[in-house]
């Protein structure tokens, strides 16, 4: 059987004197500014040599690794502003959006749906289409019946046309007789 080991007490967190903290801050700021100055000098040297500004070329020029640049926000901003690759990439993306050939269309909102949601929407749309087709068929049938009824009435009117002429002639004679009687 194993014996229980005594739990080690963790040491209390170390406290630093204010003078030590101030010294650390001054030292860190000085190293940070040195990194920015070395990076700036390397970028200027690469620009005068007309070389591409990349992580590799900066390392070859001044010995700064990307990790040192990445930990320093000011140096990182300077690198990103002057990086040949990053500025070319920005120009390409701007060119895509500003090209005269065609403006990129915004993302289709239907692409945000999941397949089951799209299936539900598709089925609803198909049901609406079927309902509309039924309504259209009903309306077409109604119009056909109305047209047929109008054709029947027109045929009856054509049959009665001779009688209408006869009735009209009788009315004219009666008016003439009344007019002569006065």
Can you read off the two tokens belonging to residue 14? 């170390």
User: What is the average pLDDT across 159-181?
Assistant: 86
- Whether the per-residue pLDDT at 1 is higher than 60: the answer is no
User: 167 falls in which pLDDT band (50, 70, 90)?
Assistant: confident
Chain centroid to CA 155: how far? Answer: 62
- Whether the per-residue pLDDT at 37 is higher than 90: the answer is yes
The secondary structure of the chain as a DSSP string is -PPPPPPPPPPPPP---HHHHHHHHHHHHHHHHHHHHHHHHHHHHHHHHT----HHHHHHHH---HHHHHH-HHHHHHHHHH-HHHHHHHHHHHHHHH-SS-PPPPPPGGGGS-HHHHHHHHHHHHHHHHHHHHHHHHHHHHHHHHHHHHHHHHHHHHHHHHHHHHHHHHHHHHHHHHHHH-
Which pLDDT tens digit goes with each residue over 133-155?
999 999 999 999 999 999 999 99
| pLDDT (0 to 100) of residue 165 | 84
Measured between alpha carbons, how far is 163 from 179 in angstroms, rounded to an integer?
24
| pLDDT (0 to 100) of residue 24 | 87
Which pLDDT tens digit goes with each residue over 83-119?
887 766 666 665 555 555 555 567 788 888 899 999 9
Which pLDDT tens digit goes with each residue over 52-77?
888 899 999 999 898 999 899 999 99
With a pLDDT cut of 70, the percent of the chain lying above it is: 85
Q: What is this structure's pTM?
A: 0.42
User: What is the average pLDDT across 20-36?
Assistant: 90
- Whether the per-residue pLDDT at 120 is higher than 90: the answer is yes
Whole-number average pLDDT of the chain: 85
User: 157 falls in which pLDDT band (50, 70, 90)?
Assistant: confident
Residue with the bigger pLDDT between 105 and 6: it is 6
- Whether the per-residue pLDDT at 182 is higher than 80: the answer is no
């Amino acid at each position: 059987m194993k014996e229980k080991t005594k739990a080690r007490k963790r040491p209390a967190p170390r406290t630093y004197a204010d003078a030590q903290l101030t010294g650390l801050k001054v030292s860190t700021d000085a190293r940070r500014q040195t990194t920015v100055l070395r990076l700036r000098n390397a970028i200027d040297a690469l620009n005068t040599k007309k070389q591409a500004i990349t992580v590799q070329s900066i390392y070859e020029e001044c010995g700064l690794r990307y990790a040192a640049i990445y930990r320093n926000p000011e140096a990182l901003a300077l690198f990103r502003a002057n990086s040949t690759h990053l500025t070319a990439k920005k120009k390409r993306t701007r060119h895509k959006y500003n090209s005269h050939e065609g403006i990129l269309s915004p993302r289709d909102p239907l692409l945000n749906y999941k397949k089951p949601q799209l299936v539900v929407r598709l089925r609803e749309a198909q049901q609406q289409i079927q309902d509309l087709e039924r309504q259209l068929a009903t309306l077409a049938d109604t119009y056909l019946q109305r047209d047929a009824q109008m054709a029947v009435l027109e045929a009856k009117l054509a049959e009665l046309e001779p009688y209408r002429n006869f009735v009209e002639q009788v009315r004219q004679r009666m008016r003439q007789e009344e007019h002569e009687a006065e």
